[in-house]
């Protein structure tokens, strides 16, 4: 299986790995039976994501997708972060093999889960991409 240099770099040197104490948002997705579990932590100030960290149990593509996701979300507003798709994560990594594309989807789902967690804690409604397109 061929991986891009960016995938290998983010797998071997993951960015923002770890936890955020007192995170404003935490999202977890995955399935222990299949082996890929992603947990994403966000620190949010004034509707802006100021820090993001992850813990991922999974293959190299899952770790690389989590790492890239954190780089893509830091500095973004909640609305801007909601526009980050699995396709964007995959593109930023220089592509993923077809059998590993689900890893970028897990990254997108972890982000949505974290943002939904943030909204629920604050009693606010967040318009996800699907809700905004209607």
In angstroms, the Cα distances linking 58 to 36, 49, 75, 88 are 4, 25, 26, 20
Catalytic residue among 1, 12, 34, 35: 34
Q: Is a pLDDT exceeding 70 seen at residue 131? A: no
CB-hemisphere CA count at 13 Å for 96? 27
| Structural domains of the chain, count | 1
How confident is the model at residue 34, as a pLDDT?
A: 67
103 is catalytic: yes
Catalytic residue among 7, 82, 103, 107: 103
59 is catalytic: no
72, 18, 111, 39: CA torsion to nearest 10: 150
Query: Could you report the per-residue pLDDT of 31-60, keeping only the tens digit for each?
Result: 776 688 999 999 999 999 999 999 999 999
Query: Could you report the per-residue pLDDT of 98-122, keeping only the tens digit for each?
Result: 999 999 999 999 999 999 999 999 9
Residue-range definition of the domain harbouring residue 17: 5-133
Residue owning tokens 């970028």? 104
CATH code for the domain of 107: 3.90.1010.10
């Amino acid at each position: 299986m061929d991986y891009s240099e960016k995938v290998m770099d983010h797998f071997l040197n993951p960015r923002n790995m770890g936890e955020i104490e007192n995170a404003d948002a935490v999202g977890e997705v995955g399935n222990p039976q299949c082996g890929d579990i992603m947990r994403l932590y966000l620190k949010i100030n004034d509707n802006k994501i100021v820090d993001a960290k992850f813990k991922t149990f999974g293959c190299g593509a899952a770790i690389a997708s989590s790492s890239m996701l954190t780089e893509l979300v830091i500095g973004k507003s909640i609305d801007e972060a909601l526009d980050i798709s699995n396709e964007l994560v995959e593109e930023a990594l220089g592509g993923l093999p077809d059998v590993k594309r689900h890893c970028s989807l897990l990254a997108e789902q972890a982000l949505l889960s974290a943002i939904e967690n943030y909204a629920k804690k604050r009693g606010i409604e967040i318009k996800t991409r699907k809700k905004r397109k209607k």
